Amino acid sequence: MTHTATRVEQLSDVTERVPTFVAVGSFDGVHLGHQAVLQAMISEAKAIGARTAVLTFFPHPKRVIQKMTEPYYLGTLDQRVELLSSLGIDLIITHPFNDAVRQTRAATFVDDLCRYLDMRQLWGGNFALGYNREGDIPTLRQLGEERGYIVQQVEAMVLFQGERVSSSRIRRSLLEGDMAEVNGCLGRPYCVSGTIVEGKKMGRTIGFPTANVDFWDEQLLPANGVYATYAWLGEERHLAATNVGVRPTVNGSAVTVEAHLLNFDADIYGRTLRLEFIDRIRPEMKFAGLDALKAQIAADVAQVRTFLGSN
């Protein structure tokens, strides 16, 4: 039976006050480092019958504090919630991060966690809460002595290929198109999802129809190029050659994500497609014309078939 967490949008929406272990953070990507902290918390909470909760901020604090506008996220908020729930977390609070929250004093924030959750333990890595990050670990521990909770600082030094797993490392690897590194740090394939919308139908005219995915424009895409991907339509999985980029051969300008599903021909407009990026086949290139492009796509498809077939 699949575990389903209770999801609320802010602390004050929590209706049941019971002893709770809570982790606070962005948890963008829910990578192996995040998983290690949360699994340790779940194990400790189960031992005494406490509830587990994650308070995750949305939008990301950098979006508000640094006025960041370029694509940044490693997945949608719904994907984050789904991943946290699949770990076995009982309660997920997708707390809005805005100027009011940014200016909340650490003591006030902690008081709210105790008031609404009956917080008994506060979990995290090298984190800080409250205005100007004033609620550092020593401060949070001092507040805990006064308010009856314990701070569990877990420096989960999870390594992949000898280097620490982090969200910033995953972002760097994505921008290089290094999917082995990205997926190794996540512990699963990197996903981009969206509704299938009508495109220019250029692929169909050269014998390689594509599903044009209306992806969330705040999510970070892998570097432009052609990828071996698994394409999921509901519970159906298909092999797919997916292009991320501006399609320079046909003078495109906006970045698109277009998947050619192998051995598949059906009308799927309006359906949701989930793409799992497994490996980069080649960077994006400009060809002399459609014939050259068609020949290259045929070679790409053959390579994808061989690569995914052997995996």
164 in a domain, yes or no? no
Which residues have CB under 8 Å from 98's CB, separation 6+? 64
Which residues have CB under 8 Å from 212's CB, separation 6+? 196, 197, 198, 199, 256, 257, 258
**Of 131 and 149, more confident:** 149
| Percent of the chain with pLDDT strictly greater than 90 | 75
Pair 18, 129 in one domain: yes
18 in a domain, yes or no? yes
**Stretch 19-24: mean pLDDT:** 97
**Stretch 140-150: mean pLDDT:** 96
The conformational region for residue 95 under phi > 0 = left, psi -120 to 50 = alpha, else beta, is: beta
If residue 180 lies in a helix (H) or strand (E), which one and from where to where? helix 179-186
**pLDDT tens figures, 225-235:** 999 999 999 99
Pair 151, 278 in one domain: no
Tokens matching residue 147:
């308010």
**Stretch 226-249: mean pLDDT:** 92
**Of 250 and 292, more confident:** 292
**Stretch 118-124: mean pLDDT:** 96
Residue 118 pLDDT greater than 90, yes or no: yes
Q: What is the pLDDT of the chain when averaged over all its residues?
A: 92
Domain tally for the chain? 2
Pair 151, 47 in one domain: yes
Query: Longest Cα pair distance anywhere in the chain, in angstroms?
Result: 73
CATH number at residue 101: 3.40.50.620
As a three-state string, the secondary structure of 222-239 is: CCCEEEEEEEEECCEEEE
163: buried, middle or exposed (CB in 10 Å: 19+, 13-18, 0-12)? exposed
Tokens matching residue 287:
């060809």
282 in a domain, yes or no? yes
**Stretch 116-144: mean pLDDT:** 91
Pair 145, 12 in one domain: yes
Among 109, 133, 156, where does a domain finish?
156
User: Does the reported pTM lie above 0.75?
Assistant: yes
Residue 68 pLDDT greater than 90, yes or no: no
Q: How far is CA 66 from CA 24, 63, 81, 138, in A?
A: 20, 6, 24, 26
Among 101, 136, 156, where does a domain finish?
156
**pLDDT tens figures, 168-188:** 999 999 999 999 999 999 999
CATH number at residue 204: 2.40.30.30
211 in a domain, yes or no? yes
169 in a domain, yes or no? no
Among 213, 214, 209, which Cα is nearest to 267's? 209
Pair 148, 197 in one domain: no
pLDDT at 130: 87
Pair 10, 149 in one domain: yes
Pair 128, 202 in one domain: no
**Stretch 242-271: mean pLDDT:** 86
**Stretch 156-173: mean pLDDT:** 92
Among 156, 180, 196, where does a domain finish?
156
Residue 268 pLDDT greater than 70, yes or no: yes
Tokens matching residue 87:
């770990």
173 in a domain, yes or no? no
53 in a domain, yes or no? yes
Pair 216, 76 in one domain: no
Residue 206 pLDDT greater than 90, yes or no: no
Q: Which domain holds residue 138?
A: 6-156
